[in-house]
Amino acid sequence: MKIHPPKWADRLLVWYCNPQLLEEIQGDAYELFYRQAKENKPKADFYFIWNVIRFFRWKNIKKRSTKADHRQASFAMIKNILLVTLRNFLRQPGHSLLNIAGLSVSFACAFLILLWVTFEYSFDQFHTDPNQLFSVVTHVKSDGAVQTYHVASAVIDVSSVPEIEKLVSISTGERWPNILCFKPENDSKECVYLNGVYSNENLFSVFNFPILKGDPNPLNQPNNIAISEKMAYLLFNTNNPIGKIIKVDGWQEVVVASVFQNIPVNSSLQFDFALTFSVLKKEWGGNEDRFTENFFSTYLKTNKETIPEQLTEKLNDVRVVTEAYKAQNISYQAVALSDWRLKSKFENGKQSGGRIDYVALFIIIGSVVVIMAVINFINMTTARAATRAKEIGIRKVTGAYRSSIILQFICESFLIVLTAFLFGALLTQFGLPLFNSILGERVSIGIIDGWVPIYLLTLLIIISLLAGLYPAFVLSSFQPVKVLKDQFSAPFTGSQRLRKILLVVQLSVSAGIIIFSGVLYLQLNYVTQKNLGFDRSNMIRVEPTGDLFRNFDAFKNELNKNSSIISVGGANTNPLTTEAGNAGVSWQGKPKDLRITFKTIGCSYEFPETFGLKIIEGRDFKTQPQDTLHTEVLVSKEAVKTMGLKNPVGEIIRMGEAQCVIIGVVNDFHTESLRASRLPVILYRTEYMHTAAIYVKYQPGTTEQSLAALSKAYSQFERNFTMKYWFQDDTFNEIYKTEITSSRLVLLFTVVALIIACIGIVGLASYNVHRKTREIGIRRVFGASITQVMTVLTNEFIWVMLLAVLMASPLAWIAADKWLSGFAYRIDMPWWIYLVTFTLISGITIIIICLQGLKTIITNPTKTLRNE
Amino acid sequence: MKGVYLGELEELVLLTVGILYPEAYGVAVMDEIEKQAGRSLNISAVHSVLTRLEEKELLSSKMSDPTEERGGRRKRIFLLTAAGKRSLEEAHQMRTQLYNQIPKMALQFQWV
């Protein structure tokens, strides 16, 4: 066997060397090599490499400029490329459309995600100097765990910290006194409910909420109100209501001092009016202590860019946090405002993500979808190479450089990607409303806003290169002699393997997404179907008001006249969303250092009946007399177990100062979302005046009549307000909003992933059948049945599918298990879902392959074999 | 004319090409210089000198027939041009002329 110098060095030489000098240089190098190699091969190798390196001189290097005029793509050539692209497109329109459809759908997906991510990142960025804004969170350490609240003391004093320029405390909320009834000037019957904040005079100078009319600093007078443009139109139907009087909550008169621009959607802080704290104090009954003990959302503006850690340190100085709070294990932390939206979750005192997790998840999903589509594109382009091979051969024979063929294919890919891109953009623009409704928010960024076009352009270039480069290099590497002699099958084995690997990746991604979304769906189903221990359907929650309380018995009687209404009761907390616990419960025999949190619900005597609780032991609350208020309690079975009582009925327990007797035991029920474990519950009787909501239970199927009866009775007894109500079912769905939203999104992406995978399988299968046309013909001639031929065709794909599922299953299992672990009540991992997924995917694959193959199989073999 | 001046290595290569007539090509020149002058040069250095001399039109070149020892590649055979011959003569003449002008005394070394 003849010896050769190191191949790579030789190639390197060929690559860089000026072709005119190559022969003599290479010749000399070879001559020296052969001479030395007779004695010592490694030494010869070494010298060869050394010579190749030494030959690398300016004079010997290829000069592009000398040949530039041959290479430049002239106008005629570009015209030719366009023509050829169009012809190829039209030759196999089905294929081409499939290609474009797959790319468009995935682009649309990616664009939507891009818009959403950009939107999420745009939150709170419109303030001036967003880097100098911080929010203060409070960590409370108790029982070894740290609870974090996004508030700080109402009377926090930061005058000792020189960096802090301004501080603003804001009282926000979803209920009274933040959501108030306002009556439009002309029509004083119907309430308009609007959400507002109470704050100090820095609200409009710390944040960038532009004042359109009136006093630029409206909250410097205690009786001023600033209202949004929207509110100005709603109440006064003018944009200049400065100086008008508004009655807050029907009694406190305040003056409209300014009108501010409607708060942008991408602000975490949303409000329609702003009032001063002195109004809030009056709302609360003028209790100064109640105010100073309170905690509000607190934001800081520093006079220079500061590291949050440094600020945190200064906030925990005794002068700021005070001795009293320090003793209660309370500490503050400054958090950059940019984290307000995306990283708001705290776990045991440490920042632990938040929305950013979803953002990351969807960025991954978007990239995966695009990568899958690009893989399809590459697969289909290289698979169709056979039909292009002759064209490339002829081009080369007539003198095309390889580079010009590469350019041609990259241009073709670019054109197809560009078309798909435009379709994708169109789809995005039309799909945005649907996407918004699924998401339940308003992504206010369009495809041509801000930086988005630049992102898109970058994406376009990257994707065209990704999709175009590989096929271009593969296709341009054909040797014209072989191609024109019809021997092109040999160079394809490599890319055939690559195509299968890409298919494995695709199928495993699809399988993974299907499994994960299956688990997600089952768990959500479990959560919504699970018996909470009480009845939540067919129930309306009404916000009570002063006059209603005063005439409550009459109101109730009026309601009970309707046959559709079953029962009316009140409670101070909603059993669906009772977050606060009560650790101050004690009973006889309670170990001293035991700290147990109970959920305590103050309710009217109808509560157990209204919510369908079952009395297991003892008796229900009595209708009368009133003196059983705060002295009789019902406890849940869990509470009995927790307290270790043998005969609970008649036992005395203490809740704070109050001493109560257990009169009965009710069945266990959940008091918040199923993410948290069920806690023991104590129900105590309280008067209507102290309840936060009235619950009206009605007959199934009578929603409309009941609601009509309810609002009629309401307006009869309450003339100042318009009824504000919610359905308990809606509230329930609200609890699992994130999960429901993400399950819908995951479903959407599952469909997209499946579509793209199907397109991929179609492309590959059709290529495979095309390649095996003659084989199928010969098999048929020798008497193989249709089924046998089909088996041959599908066999190749079986291991691809197996591998895909094997790869996807563990990953999907880990991801799904992690998600499930966020629930205290969860389903077991459904193993059958893996089987179903495998069956689904292999079913689809086999069906597609068979459909593609059938056409060729049933063709008369003489036709397929004749062209030899 | 620029380039009539010969560098030391250029002169050496030019002479060697003359010696090797009609078989002067890269490797042969390199070997000959090593044999005659004892100087081991890298082949790429020889190449660059040869091309430089050709640019100065002191050498001309043509491609030979393919040879087996070079894997079927042709050699570039270098030949002295008239200008090359003249510049060699000039250089030689200049040296002799200069040498002859050295006073005898200067060449008489006394080993003390």
Sign of CA dihedral A785, A789, A790, A794: positive
Residue A868 has pLDDT above 70, yes or no: no
Predicted pLDDT at A629: 67
Whether A23 sits inside 8 A of B44 (CB atoms) is no
Q: Which stretch of DSSP H or E encloses residue A125? A: none
pLDDT digits (tens, 9 = 90+) for A204-232: 888 888 888 888 888 888 888 888 888 88
Four-point Cα dihedral A263, A267, A271, A273, nearest 10: -50
Q: Which of B48, B50, B52, B73 to mutate to test the interface with A (most CBs of A within 10 A)?
A: B73
Predicted pLDDT at A334: 83
Closest partner residue to B74 (CB to CB) among A23, A32, A50 is A23
Residue A724 has pLDDT above 70, yes or no: yes
pLDDT digits (tens, 9 = 90+) for A318-362: 777 777 777 777 788 888 887 777 777 777 777 777 778 778 888
Whether A27 sits inside 8 A of B74 (CB atoms) is yes
SS (H, E, C) A25-71: HHHHHHHHHHHHHCCCHHHHHHHHHHHHHHCCCHHHECCHHHHHHHH
Sign of CA dihedral A364, A370, A373, A378: negative
Predicted pLDDT at A491: 47
Write the CA distances from B83 to A388, A586, B1, B88, integer angstroms.
57, 118, 12, 9
Structure confidence at residue A191 as a pLDDT band (50, 70, 90): confident
> Residue B83 has which token pair?
């200008």
Predicted pLDDT at B81: 92
Q: Which residue of A lies nearest to B78 if distances are taken between CA atoms?
A: A24
Predicted pLDDT at A190: 74
Can you tell me the distance from the alpha carbon of A459 to that of A467, in angstroms, rounded to the nearest whole number? Answer: 12
Average pLDDT over residues A152-162: 77
Write the CA distances from A29 to A53, A54, B9, B53, integer angstroms.
11, 11, 21, 21
pLDDT digits (tens, 9 = 90+) for A592-629: 777 778 888 888 888 888 888 888 888 878 776 566 66
Q: Phi first, then psi: give them for residue A269, nearest 5 degrees.
A: -95, 120
SS (H, E, C) B39-67: CCCCHHHHHHHHHHHHHCCCEEEEECCCC
Is residue A198 within 8 A of residue A275, CB to CB? The reply is yes
CB neighbour list of residue B51: distance below 8 Å, 6 or more residues apart:
A59
Whether A27 sits inside 8 A of B70 (CB atoms) is yes
Angle value at C-alpha A728, between A725 and A733, nearest 5 degrees: 120
Whether B27 sits inside 8 A of A55 (CB atoms) is no
Q: Phi first, then psi: give them for residue B101, nearest 5 degrees.
A: -85, -5
Other CB atoms within 10 A of residue A707 CB: 17
Can you tell me the distance from the alpha carbon of A25 to that of A744, in angstroms, rounded to the nearest whole number? Answer: 67
Q: Which of A38-52, A130-144, A699-713, A842-856 has the highest mean pLDDT?
A: A38-52
Residue A653 has pLDDT above 80, yes or no: yes
Q: Which residue of A lies nearest to B68 if distances are taken between CA atoms?
A: A31
Local structure of A700: helix, strand or coil:
coil
| A438 in contact with chain B, both atoms CB, cutoff 8 A | no
Percent of chain A scored above 70 by pLDDT? 94
Residue A67 has pLDDT above 60, yes or no: no
| A22 in contact with chain B, both atoms CB, cutoff 8 A | no
User: For chain B, first and last CA: distance in Å?
Assistant: 48
Stretch among A66-70, A317-321, A644-648, A705-709 having the lowest mean pLDDT: A66-70
Residue A554 has pLDDT above 90, yes or no: no
Predicted pLDDT at A626: 61
> Residue A131 has which token pair?
């880097």
Whether B27 sits inside 8 A of A28 (CB atoms) is yes
Looking at the complex, report in whole angstroms how far the Cα of residue A62 sits from the nearest Cα belonging to chain B: 15
On the 0-12 / 13-18 / 19+ scale of CB atoms within 10 A, A288 is: exposed
Local structure of A532: helix, strand or coil:
coil
> Residue A337 has which token pair?
């405002």
> Residue A40 has which token pair?
């010592």
- The β-bridge partners of A638 are none
Closest partner residue to B42 (CB to CB) among A24, A25, A54 is A54
- What are the strands, taking DSSP E only, across A520-613? 539-542, 565-571, 585-587, 599-603
Q: Which residue of A lies nearest to B28 if distances are taken between CA atoms?
A: A28
Q: Pick the residue with more confidence: A868 or A804?
A: A804
Cβ-Cβ contacts under 8 Å between A and B: the total is 56
Local structure of A694: helix, strand or coil:
strand
Predicted pLDDT at A72: 55
pLDDT digits (tens, 9 = 90+) for A730-746: 888 888 877 777 777 77
Write the CA distances from A646 to A583, A637, A836, integer angstroms.
22, 11, 49
- Which contacts of A853-857 are long-range, i.e. CB under 8 A and separated by 24 or more positions? A853/A765, A853/A769, A853/A776, A853/A789, A853/A790, A853/A793, A854/A786, A855/A769, A856/A769, A856/A772, A856/A773, A856/A776, A857/A776, A857/A780, A857/A786, A857/A789, A857/A790
Q: Average model confidence (pLDDT) for chain A?
A: 80
Residues on chain B touching A57 (C-beta within 8 angstroms): 44, 48
> Residue A716 has which token pair?
């009869």
Residues on chain B touching A37 (C-beta within 8 angstroms): none
Looking at the complex, report in whole angstroms how far the Cα of residue B26 sits from the nearest Cα belonging to chain A: 7
Looking at the complex, report in whole angstroms how far the Cα of residue A770 sits from the nearest Cα belonging to chain B: 42
Q: Pick the residue with more confidence: A585 or B61?
A: B61
Whether A28 sits inside 8 A of B26 (CB atoms) is yes
- The β-bridge partners of A198 are A171, A275
pLDDT digits (tens, 9 = 90+) for A423-433: 998 988 888 88
Please state whether beta strands A192-199 and A179-182 pair in parallel, antiparallel, or not at all (unpaired).
antiparallel
Closest partner residue to A57 (CB to CB) among B44, B74, B75 is B44
pLDDT digits (tens, 9 = 90+) for A5-38: 888 888 888 888 888 888 888 888 888 888 888 8
Whether A51 sits inside 8 A of B43 (CB atoms) is yes
Residues on chain B touching A55 (C-beta within 8 angstroms): 43-44, 47
Is residue A470 within 8 A of residue A382, CB to CB? The reply is yes
Average pLDDT over residues A688-713: 83
Predicted pLDDT at A627: 63
Please state whether beta strands A632-636 and A652-655 pair in parallel, antiparallel, or not at all (unpaired).
unpaired
Can you tell me the distance from the alpha carbon of A736 to that of A525, in angstroms, rounded to the nearest whole number? Answer: 11
Is residue A447 within 8 A of residue A425, CB to CB? The reply is yes
Q: Which of A24, A25, A52 to mutate to test the interface with B (most CBs of B within 10 A)?
A: A24
Predicted pLDDT at A490: 45
Residues on chain A touching B69 (C-beta within 8 angstroms): 30-31, 34-35
| B86 in contact with chain A, both atoms CB, cutoff 8 A | no
- Name the pTM for this structure: 0.69
Q: What is the assigned CATH class of domain B8-107?
A: mainly alpha
Please state whether beta strands A192-199 and A350-351 pair in parallel, antiparallel, or not at all (unpaired).
unpaired
Residues 35-94 of A with CB under 8 A from B: 35, 50-51, 54-55, 57, 59-60
Predicted pLDDT at A780: 85
DSSP states of A262-310? PPPTT-S---SEEEEHHHHHHHTTS-HHHHHT-EEEEEEEESS---HHH
Predicted pLDDT at A495: 62
Whether B43 sits inside 8 A of A54 (CB atoms) is yes
| A23 in contact with chain B, both atoms CB, cutoff 8 A | yes
Which is nearest to A83 in space by CA: A422, A410, A412, A400? Answer: A412
Whether B47 sits inside 8 A of A25 (CB atoms) is yes
Write the CA distances from A753 to A160, A337, A368, A415, A513, integer angstroms.
57, 36, 9, 24, 8
Residues in chain A: 868
Predicted pLDDT at A2: 65
Looking at the complex, report in whole angstroms how far the Cα of residue B69 sits from the nearest Cα belonging to chain A: 6
The angle, 0 to 180 degrees and rounded to 10, between the axes of the packed helices A737-771 and A773-781 is 60
Predicted pLDDT at A63: 67
Predicted pLDDT at A625: 59
Q: Which of B44, B52, B61 to mutate to test the interface with A (most CBs of A within 10 A)?
A: B44
Predicted pLDDT at A315: 76
Other CB atoms within 10 A of residue B84 CB: 22
| B44 in contact with chain A, both atoms CB, cutoff 8 A | yes
pLDDT digits (tens, 9 = 90+) for A433-482: 888 887 777 777 776 777 778 888 888 888 888 888 887 887 787 777 77
Q: Which of A28, A32, A55 to mutate to test the interface with B (most CBs of B within 10 A)?
A: A28
CA B13 to chain centre: 2
Residue spans of alpha helices (H) in B1-112 = 8-19, 26-37, 43-55, 82-100, 104-107
Residue A867 has pLDDT above 70, yes or no: no
Looking at the complex, report in whole angstroms how far the Cα of residue A33 sits from the nearest Cα belonging to chain B: 9
Local structure of A867: helix, strand or coil:
coil
Q: Phi first, then psi: give them for residue A404, nearest 5 degrees.
A: -75, -30
DSSP states of A705-749? HHHHHHHHHHHHH-SSS---EEEHHHHHHHHTHHHHHHHHHHHHH
Mean pLDDT by 10 residues, chain B (112 residues): 70 92 90 90 91 90 83 88 90 90 78 60
Q: Phi first, then psi: give them for residue A758, nearest 5 degrees.
A: -60, -45
Is residue A298 within 8 A of residue A151, CB to CB? The reply is yes
Write the CA distances from B5 to A373, B33, B88, B90, integer angstroms.
67, 21, 10, 10
Query: Most distant CA pair in chain A: distance in Å?
Result: 119
Q: Pick the residue with more confidence: A582 or A111?
A: A111
Q: Phi first, then psi: give them for residue A303, nearest 5 degrees.
A: -90, -10
| A31 in contact with chain B, both atoms CB, cutoff 8 A | yes
Residues on chain A touching B25 (C-beta within 8 angstroms): 24, 28
| B63 in contact with chain A, both atoms CB, cutoff 8 A | yes
Residues on chain B touching A32 (C-beta within 8 angstroms): 27, 43
| A19 in contact with chain B, both atoms CB, cutoff 8 A | no
Sign of CA dihedral B48, B52, B57, B58: negative
Residues on chain A touching B43 (C-beta within 8 angstroms): 28-29, 32, 51, 54-55
Q: What is the ipTM of this complex?
A: 0.86
